[in-house]
Structure 1
Amino acid sequence: MASKKTILKKIQIVLTKHFESPEDAFNFFDKDGDKKLSKDEIVSLLKEAEINGFIRGLVGSKLIEGYDKDGDEQVDWKEFKNAVAEMAKDIE
């Protein structure tokens, strides 16, 4: 299984190489426009980051668990922005 650092690096690559800003990435993956990323939308981001299909669901759940601060089982823009900042620190 890929390490946490490897997964975070792949996510960071998608966010920085394919989008002008983290907000553009968030809006792209927010398919239903509700200003929150559901597990399915996060799994879509992980697929774009070429995270193995076998572990995508698990990683999606762990990302929600780690970054969902208000307990709604989704990641809103503020939580996403904080997650991106934390990911950058974890990769260094």
Structure 2
Amino acid sequence: MATKEAILSKIQILITNKFDTPEEAFAFFDANSDGKLKKSEIVRLLKEAEINGFIRGLVGSKLIEGYDNSGDELIDWQEFKSAVDKIIVV
């Protein structure tokens, strides 16, 4: 199984190589433009980051669990930005 560091590295590479800003990445993956990423949208991000299909659902759940400060089981822009800021530092 991929390590947390390897997964975060792949997400960082995706965000920095494919998008000009984290805001652009968030908007791209926010398919319904509701200002929040649901699990299926996060799984799409993980697919784009070339995370193994077998673990995408688990990783998506763990990302929500780790960064959803509001408890709505969604990732809003501030929560996404907080996660990205931690990833970029890694």
TM range (shorter): over 0.9
2:4 is matched with 4
Letter matched to residue 43 of structure 1: V
2:15 is matched with 15
Residue pairs, 1:1-92, within 5 angstroms = 1-89=1-89, 91=90
- Give the unaligned 5+ runs of structure 2: none
SS in 1 for 2:2: coil
Report the aligned-residue RMSD.
0.6
- The number of residue pairs the alignment matches comes to 90
User: What is the CA distance between 1:64 and its match in structure 2?
Assistant: 0.3
SS in 1 for 2:65: helix
Alpha-carbon displacement from aligned partner over 1:37-57 (angstroms, at most 9, x marks no partner): 000000000000000000000
TM-score normalised by length of structure 1 = 0.96
User: What is the CA distance between 1:88 and its match in structure 2?
Assistant: 2.2
- Give the unaligned 5+ runs of structure 1: none
TM-score normalised by length of structure 2 = 0.98
SS in 2 for 1:87: helix
User: What is the CA distance between 1:87 and its match in structure 2?
Assistant: 1.5
Rounded to whole Å, the distance in 2 between the matches of 1:59 and 1:87 is: 15
Letter matched to residue 78 of structure 1: Q
SS in 1 for 2:54: helix
SS in 1 for 2:73: coil
Letter matched to residue 51 of structure 2: I
